[in-house]
Chain A
Amino acid sequence: MTVGDIVQALELTVYCGKKGLERRVTGGYVSDLLSDVMGHADTGQVWVTLQTHKNVMAIASLKDLAAVILVTGHKPDENTAHQSEEEAIPVLGTHMSAFDVTGKLYELINK
């Protein structure tokens, strides 16, 4: 499954990092503490969060994550979007809560 497949299935907004839509997705991680994500997220995961700071992209790149999904209508900060383009790691968005989008994501990935 690719990031693009998830965008289509969950009707997510693609804010930036379109070049990364072909990335392969292996699972997901949900957390708003970036220190926690740095310690526990794994390569290829989709990260569900409401944090929009540019450090999100630094950590996504460090951990080689597939994409970031911002929940409840949050949008990336300007420099976050810029870094997403550079790293080709998409930042996606939804109005769903972390609970709802994670439930759907889990079902989709584990189908």
Chain B
Amino acid sequence: MNRYSADLHVHTLLSPCGDLEMTPANIVEFAAIKGIDILGITDHNSTRHGALIKKMAEKKGIFVLCGAEVTTKEDIHCLTFFENNAATESFQEYLEKHLADVKNRPSIFGYQVVVDEEEMIIEEVDKLLISALDQSLDQVEAMVHSLGGLFIPAHIDRPSYSLISQLGFVPSGLNADALEISRNTTPGALRKKFPEVAGYTLTGSSDAHFLQQLGTLVSVFEMETRSFAEVCKALRKEDGRGVRVEERGK
């Protein structure tokens, strides 16, 4: 069995709150320096930078999970990941269809740009990406799973935009592949405060909006090799595989 450091919650400059230095090229370079083996690209309500970063990261030996950090209609942030381009593109269509029709104001929220390998701007996204979908937690979960994806409510201990802040506690029967915790708690402390998380695998990631934040909180995956199927197995703790949260200095 091998051990892989995964930072599964990383924003690019496409997210309005993502620093303009969070270009695909910089993210890949920094991730390599920080010893990250698996990178999850999760912009707010968009999957647009995933494929390019996956292509660039593979050359440096980094495995990329493409997805998005979705905002449900309850204002709950959830990480989503997909195995291939077809599923990711289907989900992108779903996001575009269901995201609130509100225009971004870059002076307030920041720029939302898609760039290429050379950091040239290809497109500026007009709709405000930090708005919410008109879809509930349960609807987003069902959609993600219908596409064979992974559904992981983000930073569930945070006092805003989290499963627990918006819904009070983890709903019984929630079909999540894992629950992500922020750096403000530990798996042990969270399980003590919210016993209902006991049955779930916990992950931790940096939620990086700036390059310096990359890899400061990681999930160490113990599994055979790096693939979508192995990640799924590790999250389900199957056949001796597993995941644990590890905080690291900057």
Contacts and interface: CB of A to CB of B under 8 A. Distances in A.
Interface of A: 32-35, 37-38, 51-55, 58-59, 77
B138 interface: yes
Interface in B133-171: 136-138, 159, 164-169, 171
Contacts of A52: 136
Contacts of B168: 34-35, 37-38, 55, 58-59
Interface residues of B, number: 12
Contacts, number: 36
A52 B72 CA distance: 13
Contact of A33 (B136, B137, B166, B171): B166
20 contacts: A32-B166, A33-B166, A34-B166, A34-B168, A34-B169, A35-B164, A35-B167, A35-B168, A38-B168, A52-B136, A53-B74, A53-B136, A53-B137, A53-B167, A53-B171, A54-B171, A55-B168, A55-B169, A55-B171, A59-B168
Interface of B: 74, 136-138, 159, 164-169, 171
Given A51-B74, A53-B74, A33 B165 contact: yes
Q: Which of A32, A37, A51, A52 has the most CB of B within 10 A?
A: A51
